[in-house]
Structure 1
Amino acid sequence: MKHLKIFTILLLLFSIYPASESHAISKKIPVKYVSVVDGDTVRVKQGNKVITLRMLLIDTPESKDPKKPVQPYAVEAGKYLDSYLRNAKLTMQYDNNQKKDRYGRHLVYLYANNRLVNDEMVRSGYARVGYIYSQKYYLNALKKTQSIAKTKKLRIWSIPGYVNTRGEGFIYNPKKPVVKQAPKPVAKKAVAKKPTAKKPVTKAGYPTSKYRKGAPKTFKNCSAMKKYYPYGVTIHHISYAKKHDRDKDKLACEATKISYQTWMKNN
């Protein structure tokens, strides 16, 4: 009876823990990079044969479906995958369940320099966890990676409501396009403008009572004065001098036929 209990406990433990790698997935098979189809699909050469690989447990935005518009981050995901694989040493590994999908694509875990590419696409925010069938060896690990990318709001996670949390794929309506979040612009500090000296407003053609900035305050004669005050000045001006007002009409160096008027006090 005691031995039966021990056997039962061991049986339960083996059923709880996942199978070892040797039982769950195949050996790694070397392949050579050919091209990227999109963010989750790649063409490689196995021996002399070119085959198409569909990476397990991940899904990237759609760019090749003729029935659907190109989704946000679809093109970027393909370019990122191409740069990640192009110069790397590649190997692939089957899950020991279904090895091909209905399109004849090989369902694999892909490695670049021994790093799991499926996980890298999720980590960088270009892919979500998806395309889940019977192959689930790395499912929990990928879910942890996705949680981090989602918290950081990387790429596909930066667009509210874009990743379909109730099912597979992405929610995208081109008639009402989603807007990628952009960093808020840094407000520039306002630079105070230096005040500019205002020129005195005077009635043209008449002597002025206002001082022009930069002009001399005394003049030798009317010729010198008229370089700054072409129509002369009134008795209220700082540069007025009796020697320039020979007819004593309260105007100095004025033009002919001009007589003093009270409004000129403010001219």
Structure 2
Amino acid sequence: MKKVLISTIALLLMMGLPAMSAERNSRETAQVRSPGKVVSVGDGDTMRVQQGHRISTVRLACVDAPEIKQAPYGRQAANRLKQLLPPGKAVQLRPVTTDRYGRMVAEVYVDGKSINLALVQEGQAVVYREYLNGCSETQSQYLQAENAARQNKRGFWNQPNPVMPADFRAGRSQPAQSSSKPVQQPTSLPACVNSDCDCGDFSSWEEAQRVLQAFPNDPFRLDRDRDGVACESLRR
């Protein structure tokens, strides 16, 4: 009986190993970095990289730089990226996905430091919240870096009413209330407004709605259908 029990346990363990191994390999693959050399920089968040005999266009993951037409910030962002990544510079790429234009979306590292994150820290790019899940391991670092850049008015944030790059591309280019500054600062706002809020951070729908009203440009994407109501799942 004891031998049968031991054999059964061993079999169960062996059956579980492939799944555990696959999960571990999946996590490791997500963090794999491949070497390359910079060919050129297009704008504040786009570059071309050579890997072996192949040259690819790379879109920096999880960040969004001002468009070139968003003077002077778009040109400043592009020039800064050119300083950080001159032609021939050795880089490490952590691919995230391929976008609809066929570009590799990736985090770019030099000497172990993320160029994507550096741009946010300097105010040369904003966090692209819609795609921030591509940088899940460093998500909090991106949000904290943007908050610090915003508070210290670095780069793009050194203007009264910044138009977010995504809004500019969508044609919403008229300056509005800054998405980064609340219209008012009620003492009842939760601490998450200093980094990033989602619907799970609120104790009630009323609290979520107060945040939406304080930040009318909805930087936390609490009102995804744009009907003026935050976190509808919290309403009873």
- The TM-score bracket by the shorter chain reads 0.5 to 0.7
When you count helix as a share of all residues, which structure comes out higher? 2
The 5 A counterparts of 1:172-183 are 172-173=173-174
Classify the secondary structure of the residue corresponding to 1:135: helix
Give deviations 1:47-69, integer Å, cap 9, x for gaps.
11110001111001112xxxxx4
Is 1:94 aligned to 2:95, yes or no? yes
Classify the secondary structure of the residue corresponding to 2:93: strand
In the alignment, which residue of structure 2 is the partner of 1:33?
38
**Distance apart, 1:168 and its partner CA:** 3.6
The 2-side partners of 1:152 and 1:20 are apart by 40
**Distance apart, 1:113 and its partner CA:** 1.9
**Cα pair distance change 1:94/1:58, threshold 3 Å:** same
Unmatched 5+ stretches in structure 1: 1-18, 64-68, 175-267
Give deviations 1:10-39, integer Å, cap 9, x for gaps.
xxxxxxxxx999447231100101000100
The 2-side partners of 1:36 and 1:46 are apart by 15
**Distance apart, 1:155 and its partner CA:** 1.3
The 2-side partners of 1:22 and 1:153 are apart by 36
Classify the secondary structure of the residue corresponding to 2:116: helix
**Cα pair distance change 1:108/1:158, threshold 3 Å:** same
**Distance apart, 1:71 and its partner CA:** 3.6
In the alignment, which residue of structure 2 is the partner of 1:249?
none
Classify the secondary structure of the residue corresponding to 1:149: helix
**Distance apart, 1:88 and its partner CA:** 3.9
Contact 1:90 1:111 in 2 (8 A): yes
Count of aligned pairs: 147
Structure 1 counterpart of 2:134, which letter?
Q
**Cα pair distance change 1:169/1:71, threshold 3 Å:** farther
Q: Highest Rg: 1 or 2?
A: 1
In the alignment, which residue of structure 1 is the partner of 2:81?
81
**Distance apart, 1:173 and its partner CA:** 4.7
Unmatched 5+ stretches in structure 2: 1-23, 176-236
The 5 A counterparts of 1:48-197 are 48-63=53-68, 69-86=69-86, 88-95=89-96, 99-130=97-128, 132-133=130-131, 134-137=133-136, 138-164=138-164, 168-170=166-168, 172-173=173-174
Is 1:47 aligned to 2:45, yes or no? no
